Amino acid sequence: MEINKSSKRTLSFIKFFLYVWIFCLLGFGITLLFATNFFKSTVVETIFGNSSWFLILTIVFISIGSISFGFILLGIFVSFLRSVLIKKVIHSPAFYFLLIGIVFLMGINFQKIMSYLNQQKVFQGIVKTYKPRVPLIIPNEVFELTNKERINNNLTPLKRDVKLDEAALERAKVIIENNEFAHEATKSGITYTKAIKKAQYWNINYGENLAQGQFTSQEVVDGWMNSEDHRANILNPKYQEIGIATYSGMLSGFNAVVTVQLFGGYEPPNYKKGVVDSWKASLASLKNIQPSWQNLKNNASFYEQNKADVDRINELISIRISNITIIVTRMDKNQWFTSVEQKMIDNDRGLYNEQEAVATKLNSR
């Protein structure tokens, strides 16, 4: 009965580590499956977030799996040693002589094999043959490959812009220096829009693609094209210009080359006809009433009594005519308003209300 209980414990021991080993095998397989995009893509926004997580998970599964497999073999070996026949063989003198002979022969042969391999310089050849892969990502190649994708999708090729190149390099540097591979740039505060403005580049539409962990320009672009959001940037018809830069350094504890792609593009405002006609009607109305308000200055007595209000209403009409002329001209050209012109639009309602109030005041006299 004692032997039977011991055998059951050994079998339970083997089963437990067999389950652990199978779990680790499945875990490693699933990790590798989801990490496929990590190896092919320039985008680090995978299920793992970055390469550190992938390495940690891989090491954990392999380590625990290897230990479990070792315990399984140990359990089988212990079970084997507990059999009655094996105990008789092990305790016989012939077994010890056989064991000594095997060890002696292995020692002699191992020495001969190692001596032969050293003479053939096999190990030196292996060391010399192995060369670590060095990333070689060239911005000009990335630019050409990006335009190739646009042409293949019947889109106009992008033009390279020096200021966008400058902004892209700024972004790549702050990513490495702050160890922050993210569009939000919460550590550095230098988002891609801030980098673009710092480089004195102005446009309507902006976008950014980031990449790290690749070795060639082709891998970078392939990774972006395999990512929905990054592909959308490359194939966005609203963009006409692009800037590209790379920067090397430590990222998440690994040597990395960061590739940054910045986009800029113009899109006309396409003002609605009703809005344009409304501004034109206001301008025509102001030009129509302006002479009558100016003529009040010719009425000496009335002007003398209401000089401040007469001057103010004529000033208001002149300001509005000047502002609305600029606004209508910009709309006719289908161009975006500058910040100054937008302020004119915002202020016009106040000017109109003041004009009506002064007009009502003067008309009552």
Nearest Cα to 43, choosing from 175, 216, 220, 256? Answer: 220
Distance between CA atoms of residues 208 and 210, nearest Å = 7
- Supply the pTM of this predicted model: 0.55
The pLDDT of residue 119 is 61
* CA within 13 Å, CB half, 200: 1
Distance between CA atoms of residues 23 and 288, nearest Å = 86
In the numeric block, which tokens belong to residue 297?
């200055």
- Residues 150-176, buried b or exposed e (16+ Cβ, 10 A)? beeeeeeebeebebbbbbbbbbbbbbb
The pLDDT of residue 199 is 95
Q: Are 135 and 215 in contact (CB under 8 A)?
A: yes
Residues of the chain with pLDDT under 70: 1-8, 10-11, 14, 17, 21, 31-55, 72, 74-99, 101-132
Alpha carbon distances (Å) from 99 to 86, 93, 232:
14, 10, 69
Question: Please, what is the Cα angle at 210 between 137 and 231, to 5 degrees?
Answer: 100
268: three-class secondary structure by DSSP:
coil
The pLDDT of residue 25 is 74
Torsion of CA 88, 89, 93, 97, to 10 degrees: -160
Q: Are 328 and 283 in contact (CB under 8 A)?
A: yes
Q: What is the pLDDT of residues 201-240, one digit of tens each?
A: 989 999 999 999 899 999 999 999 999 999 999 999 999 9
